């Protein structure tokens, strides 16, 4: 039906009672009706064509997060278009079925623009997805619910507040109002059956430790997918970390509560592990004695909800209905392990410089290539994060990877690492973003095979969006 026309627009809506909140949104039209931040849905293997018209007073560009596209279609910061500009996208969606997303990647404006709303879902269908939907009688928008979790600050008028201090620009901007699909105090009515929740962390900097709780009891939920589609088998857990950029596809049986009861999707308390260390940029703290730096940093944020605080994300309000007990399929899909014999090992060292975080000692320069990778090569990236610093969700463009191993995990991560080689449930399947905690080395295998003509330059960066804009990003070129 011709290319999808997407326009970036400024629009307000009443998100808080009695107040209008201005946002930046993607708008499309279908049959004369306007849709804002539409969920795009496409079949694996199909061709995707779209035009982006920038109706904003600032530059922008769209990145299709998780998709394997030629570099020119990827929304590299160098592709950023000015006000009134247009960018045409045309590529084959070769990824497997799964929960991907699209968001702004405007050069040095990603954080502020994504925060103001420029982000939504890009769902890919395939046979595995259809088989699952059929087996569990899932219906998108009814019992299969895409849910983007974001935290924001608002001023008294209801306007989004985004004013990172130098320190907040360094650590990441946190909100104190948590939104599920742009809704504060979100409530979803459910009946005693199984729901699929496609959880996306669309926050700038906040990490969530997600659990479903009734009272204070964590209930079981079943992870069926991660960033790049379904995992091999359903895995039942009671909690999982979800870092900015990551997705977690879960099944939840609302029949674990009685009609009239409430269940909360909650972010549990955790140790944020923010630690600038003695060499950090904040002078004059020598006399703080035994006060944990983590707490110190939290108290310096303008958010009243520090990283690692506990809060609710979504209320599931259980209504009367037929009890449906789903029989989970024993296998969901097949994941072929990347063959790593003879693979080149690459060191990726995260570090902290002058008030900013670095990758292999570098800060981002648009026309600097950090390294070349051979087309078709399999590489193992050993991403290491020093003990001093903070957790970083590292994201690669253009390719998906498999997490091989997590080494040196802090106790709160090691406690849930029951999937071999120190891996947690979030590490299974195909990934494009992986959280690397202080003191950890995460080893990932990447297959750089592609059939795009010529050299392709992509970015690899931290998905803490303040870090990304602050230069925690490199270009790599696939030759
Ligand atoms: Cu979702 Cu380069 O990012
Ligand atoms: Cu980071």
95 CA from centroid of ligand 2 (Å): 26
What pLDDT score does 479 carry? 94
Residue nearest ligand 1's atom 1 by CA: 65
- pLDDT confidence band for 297 (50 / 70 / 90): low
Could you name the CATH architecture of 344-478?
Sandwich (2.60)
| pLDDT (average), residues 49-69 | 98
What's the average model confidence in pLDDT over 420-449?
98
Other Cβ atoms within 10 Å of 68 Cβ, number? 22
For residues 202 and 101, the answer to whether their CB atoms sit within 8 Å is yes
Convert the pLDDT of each residue in 222-239 to its tens digit.
Answer: 999 999 999 999 999 999
Q: What's the pLDDT score for residue 344?
A: 97
Please report which ligand is nearest the Cα atom of 79: 1
Q: Which CATH architecture has domain 4-125?
A: Sandwich (2.60)
The span from the CA of 218 to the CA of 212, in Å, is: 6
Q: Which ligand is nearest to the CA of 461?
A: 1
Determine the Cα–Cα distance for residues 417 and 411; give it in Å rounded to an integer: 10
> Which residue's CA is the closest to the ligand 1 atom numbered 3?
65
325 burial via Cβ count (<10 Å: 0-12, 13-18, 19+): exposed
Task: Kindly state the average pLDDT of the residues 151-162.
Answer: 96
pLDDT tens track for 158-177: 999 999 999 999 999 999 99
- CATH 2.60.40.420 boundaries in the chain: 4-125, 144-318, 344-478
Tell me how far apart the terminal alpha carbons of the chain are, to the nearest angstrom.
35
330 by DSSP, 3-state: which?
coil
Confidence (pLDDT) at 2 = 80
- Centroid of ligand 1 to alpha carbon of 397 (angstroms): 7
pLDDT of residue 1: 63
Q: What is the pLDDT of residue 80?
A: 97
For the residues 258-283, what does the mean pLDDT come to? 81
The strand pairing partners of 303, in sequence order, are: none
pLDDT (average), residues 3-32:
95
Provide mean pLDDT across the span 368-394: 97
Q: What average pLDDT does the segment 192-208 reach?
A: 98
- Of ligand 1's listed atoms, the one at least distance from the Cα of 433 is 1
Atom of ligand 1 nearest to the CA of 468: 2
d(CA 155, CA 98): 36
CA distances 437 to 142, 283, 350, 380, Å, are 36, 24, 11, 18
Cα 104 to middle of ligand 2, angstroms = 18
Give the number of the atom of ligand 1 that is nearest the alpha carbon of residue 66: 1
- How many A from CA of 215 to the centre of ligand 1? 36
The alpha carbon dihedral of 424, 425, 429, 434 has a sign of negative
Query: What is the Å distance from ligand 1's center to 288 Cα?
Result: 37
Q: CB-hemisphere CA count at 13 Å for 349?
A: 10
- DSSP code, position 171: H
User: Looking at residue 283, what is its pLDDT?
Assistant: 36
Q: What is the pLDDT of residue 295?
A: 45
Fold of 144-318: Immunoglobulin-like (2.60.40)
Q: What mean pLDDT do residues 137-146 have? A: 98
Label residue 69 exposed, middle or buried (CB < 10 Å: 0-12, 13-18, 19+): buried
State yes or no: ipTM above 0.90: yes
Ligand 1 atom closest to Cα of 461?
2
Element housing 465 (H / E): helix 465-469
CA-based torsion, 227, 228, 230, 231: positive or negative: negative
Q: What is the mean pLDDT of the chain?
A: 94
Q: How many whole angstroms from 59 Cα to the centroid of ligand 1? A: 17
Mean pLDDT of 261-288: 71
Percent with pLDDT over 90 in the chain: 92
Note the ligand closest to the C-alpha atom of 274. 2
> Which atom of ligand 1 lies closest to the CA of 397?
2
pLDDT at 280 over 80: no
Percent of the chain having pLDDT more than 70? 94
Going from the Cα of 108 to the center of ligand 1, the distance in angstroms, rounded, reads: 12
* Ligand 1 pocket by Cβ (under 6 Å): 63, 65, 103, 105, 245, 395, 397, 459, 461, 463
Instruction: State in Å: Cα 396 to ligand 1 middle.
Output: 8
In ligand 1, which atom is closest to the CA atom of 103? 1
* pLDDT attached to residue 288: 36
How confident is the model at residue 303, as a pLDDT? 75
């Amino acid at each position: 039906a011709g290319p999808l026309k997407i326009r970036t627009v400024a629009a307000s809506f009443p998100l808080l009672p009695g107040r209008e909140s201005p946002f930046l949104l993607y708008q499309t039209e279908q049959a004369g009706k306007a849709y804002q931040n539409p969920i795009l849905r496409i079949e694996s293997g199909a061709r995707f064509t779209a035009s982006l018209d920038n109706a904003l007073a600032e530059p922008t560009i769209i990145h299709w997060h998780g998709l394997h596209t030629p570099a020119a279609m990827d929304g590299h910061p160098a592709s950023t278009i000015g006000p009134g500009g247009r960018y045409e996208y045309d590529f084959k969606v070769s990824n497997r079925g799964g929960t991907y997303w699209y968001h702004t990647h405007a050069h040095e404006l990603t954080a502020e623009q994504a925060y103001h709303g420029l982000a939504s879902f890009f769902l890919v269908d395939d046979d595995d997805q259809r088989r699952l939907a059929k087996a569990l009688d899932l219906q998108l928008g009814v019992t299969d619910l895409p849910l983007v979790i974001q935290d924001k600050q608002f001023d008294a008028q209801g306007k989004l507040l985004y004013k990172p201090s130098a320190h907040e620009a360094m650590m990441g901007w946190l909100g104190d109002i948590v939104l599920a699909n742009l809704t504060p105090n979100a409530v979803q009515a459910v009946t005693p059956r199984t729901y699929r929740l496609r959880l996306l962390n669309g926050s700038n900097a906040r990490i969530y430790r997600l659990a479903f709780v009734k009272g204070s009891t964590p209930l079981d939920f079943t992870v069926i997918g991660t960033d790049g589609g379904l995992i091999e088998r359903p895995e039942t857990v009671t909690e999982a970390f979800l870092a900015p950029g990551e997705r977690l596809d879960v099944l939840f049986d609302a029949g674990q509560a009685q009609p009239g009861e409430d269940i909360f999707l909650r972010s549990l308390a955790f140790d944020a592990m923010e630690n600038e260390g003695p060499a950090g940029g904040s002078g004059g703290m020598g006399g703080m004695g035994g006060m944990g730096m983590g707490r110190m940093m939290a108290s310096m944020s303008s958010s009243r909800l520090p990283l690692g605080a506990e809060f609710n994300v979504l209320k599931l309000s259980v209504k009367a209905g037929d009890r449906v007990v789903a029989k989970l399929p024993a296998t969901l899909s097949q994941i072929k392990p990347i063959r790593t014999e003879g693979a080149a090992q690459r060191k990726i060292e995260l570090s902290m410089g002058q008030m900013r975080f670095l990758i292999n000692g570098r800060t981002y320069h648009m026309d600097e290539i950090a390294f070349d990778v051979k087309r078709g090569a399999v590489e193992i990236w050993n991403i290491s994060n020093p003990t001093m610093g903070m957790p970083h969700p590292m994201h690669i463009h253009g390719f998906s990877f498999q997490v091989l191993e997590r080494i040196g995990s802090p106790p709160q991560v090691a406690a849930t690492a029951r999937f071999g080689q120190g891996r947690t449930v979030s590490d299974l399947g195909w990934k494009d973003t992986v959280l690397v905690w202080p003191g950890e080395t995460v080893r990932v295998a990447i297959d750089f095979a592609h059939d795009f003509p010529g050299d392709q330059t992509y970015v690899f960066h931290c998905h803490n969006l303040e870090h990304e804009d602050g230069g925690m990003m490199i270009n790599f070129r696939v030759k």
